[in-house]
Structure 1
Amino acid sequence: MNDFDRKIGRRPGARPAWFVVDFVASHVSMVSLGAAKRRHRTYEPVPITETVFYPFDGLQEIVGESHYYAGIHRVVSAWKDSGAADAPILAILRPEPGNPVDAHAVRVDLRFGDVTETCGHIPAYLAAGWGRGLRPHLEAGRQPVAHASVFGGTLEKPDYGVWLSTERALRRPRLRP
């Protein structure tokens, strides 16, 4: 028995401290890995036959755009290259039950023409409610969408921000020259 074992009050013949710490650390890490595997409902996807504008009040900010700047830029570039200043950019709303961060996550994809890219998610505190509202539309073969307004992408404000609304876009995006 060494001095450390005597200081912590270990009995002779007991397991060394490093063994106990290693066991606890490995057990905790295994428990956390298991927690990351969330159960979610699996179902056969219903073919989408139409789009429907999802009803909500006011404006809704999208979070996590910083992870998707390249995709947002591709959609905004396609919009700019089309020359159709009045053409809307649509936001496609998709529940993500397999999301490792939030089982209730609702992903938002921007679509203009044939370009579709992920731009972020509905904030976590609203996602569960939105997911419940989206489910009946998806089960009936309708794809919920909203109008999207993209802000930023200029020299003064290089970061993008995306807001959803039930009305046409608040302001059209601009690109860096």
Structure 2
Amino acid sequence: MVVAPKPQLFEYSQNDYDSNPPRLSAIDVDPVDVSDDGRLGVVGESHYQQGLKLASGGHVAGYDLDSHLPAIALMVPEPSNPFDNSAVRIDVVHGGRSVTVGYLAREVARHYQPHLLPLRQQNRVARCPARITGGGSGKYYGIYLHVAAPSRLFAAAVTGPEASFASSTQDLIRLNADWFCTVTKEEAHQDVLARCADHCSDIEQPGEFVLDFCLAAKGKYRGERVIEVRIGPDRVGELTMAMTNRYSLLLDLIHQRGAVALAHGHIEQDDRRGYQVVLHMPRDPARPRRPEWFDA
């Protein structure tokens, strides 16, 4: 696969879409599907807006998860990258070729690259679903991946009612870390996240976040119950309404037991969006089975 050119450090404008077309590369390796049980952000998209516009077909993504534009991404390790030898480049498949749209964050890439390099040596590359966000007049495109944690990249999905969703320690219940779930509203809590970032930045040794209910203070769902995310007593964000609906039953069950819900997670730093929280959550708690310890 052709190595991507060095990113151009320009300020994005609408004219850049027309004056700087992306370079397409032939896909000369065999894609290997990896586990999609997770969600992972991509960084550096501002340098690859033309590629994202091409991958999106020029369409504009809506604000809710269902309106984000589907894509297929390739995770390409770059051990010879002159800026970071643990780099992982993200390409999007477009027809029979691929176009670069960003990279994994440095602190995340160093955990993924060791799992991706053996594929590279076999002339293969990891492939996973992705979603494109944003677009439109004066707005950046973005992209995130549906991909599992590094240690679970090649794990088969565990399904069915027998999958436990948590473990218990006295009055604390720690949720299983099956996939990644993003958090919103972190922009109002950058000071707290900055203080905690050094202790929660490692994707393989994550920190613990408290989950509780609160009422949405503004926006479309103002006054409705949403799941709040805290580090200790300090609020750092909340789940989207879609993710709140996904995990509300589980959180209600934990509260019925008089316990506190904890989720593992890590903090990522993005040059444009600041500190971002990624929770490691159970895969499918829509109908959680009560483990034997739950009613003890």
Specify if TM > 0.5. Answer: yes
Give the number of the structure whose alpha-carbon radius of gyration is greater.
1
DSSP 3-state at the match of 1:117:
strand
TM-score, L = length of structure 2: 0.35
Q: Check if 1:104 corresponds to 2:86.
A: yes
For the residues of structure 2 that align with 1:102 and 1:55, how far apart are their CA atoms? 25
Q: How far is 1:101 from its partner?
A: 1.7
Deviations 1:52-74 (Å, cap 9, x if unpaired)? 12236520000000000011111
| Structure 1 unaligned regions, length at least 5 | 1-46, 81-86, 168-177
Q: Check if 1:62 corresponds to 2:42.
A: yes
Match of 2:52 in 1: 72
For the residues of structure 2 that align with 1:159 and 1:88, how far apart are their CA atoms? 17
AA of the residue aligned to 1:94: V
Deviations 1:8-58 (Å, cap 9, x if unpaired)? xxxxxxxxxxxxxxxxxxxxxxxxxxxxxxxxxxxxxxx73x321223652
| Structure 2 unaligned regions, length at least 5 | 1-27, 61-68, 149-296
Gap change, CA 1:166 and 1:98, over 3 Å in 2? closer
Gap change, CA 1:114 and 1:88, over 3 Å in 2? farther
Match of 1:94 in 2: 76
Gap change, CA 1:73 and 1:115, over 3 Å in 2? farther
Match of 2:130 in 1: 148
For the residues of structure 1 that align with 2:122 and 2:53, how far apart are their CA atoms? 32
Higher strand share: 2
What is the root-mean-square deviation of aligned Cα atoms in Å?
2.7
Q: How far is 1:112 from its partner?
A: 2.6
Q: Percent identity?
A: 31
DSSP 3-state at the match of 1:68:
helix
For the residues of structure 1 that align with 2:116 and 2:36, how far apart are their CA atoms? 11
Match of 1:3 in 2: none
Higher helix share: 1
Number of residue pairs aligned between Structure 1 and Structure 2: 114
AA of the residue aligned to 1:69: Q
Q: How far is 1:78 from its partner?
A: 7.3
DSSP 3-state at the match of 2:57:
helix
Identify which of structures 1 and 2 has the higher relative contact order when contacts are C-alpha pairs closer than 8 Å and 6+ apart. 1
Deviations 1:68-117 (Å, cap 9, x if unpaired)? 0011111111789xxxxxx9521111111222221110000011323521
Tell me if structure 2 keeps the 8 A contact 1:91–1:145.
yes
Alignment of 1:1-177 (within 5 A): 48=29, 50-55=30-35, 57-77=37-57, 88-155=70-137, 158-166=139-147
Tell me if structure 1 keeps the 8 A contact 2:134–2:141.
yes
AA of the residue aligned to 1:165: H
TM-score, L = length of structure 1: 0.56
AA of the residue aligned to 2:50: A
